[in-house]
Amino acid sequence: MKLSRFDSFCARLPASTFVVQWGGSHVHKIGGKVFAIGHFAGEAAYVFKTTPLSFALLLDQGLASRAPYLPRGNWVRVSGGVPDAMLRDLLRQSYDLVAARLTKATRASLGLSSSENSLPNPG
């Protein structure tokens, strides 16, 4: 996936914000919490949170590695070999996981439901 498509997909997620930080990384957040990082340094590399099962499968299949600087919480780094549709599903999963951990008040202020399963789909 090209960085522009990554940014476009993440920007369509409800209440998502974007900032460039950490040496030019494209950082996407929900409620001030990071859910995805994209960086283009010769090749695209994406960092995001996963479920424990997705974490294990992605690492076992050689599709991802542990995300540098994020040793806990099932964060992975993907730099290639993952089809765009799968990456979009994984990014949505990361968004849902991070959004579900926000306080009820924060979710309400962002217009998000209190249940991760009822968060709106970006289409």
78 within some domain: yes
24 within some domain: yes
Q: Which pLDDT tens digit goes with each residue over 88-118?
A: 999 999 999 999 999 999 999 999 875 544 4
Non-local (6+) Cβ contacts of 94 within 8 A are 35, 36, 48, 49, 50
Q: Per the structure, how many domains does the chain have?
A: 1
Residue ranges making up the domain that contains 88 = 3-113
Residue with tokens 């974490």: 55
58 within some domain: yes
State both tokens at 4. 């522009």
In the prediction, which pLDDT does 59 show? 95
Q: Which pLDDT tens digit goes with each residue over 12-51?
A: 999 999 999 888 889 999 999 999 999 855 567 999 999 9
54 within some domain: yes
37 within some domain: yes
86 within some domain: yes
In the prediction, which pLDDT does 23 show? 80
What CATH number has the domain bearing residue 97? 3.90.1150.30
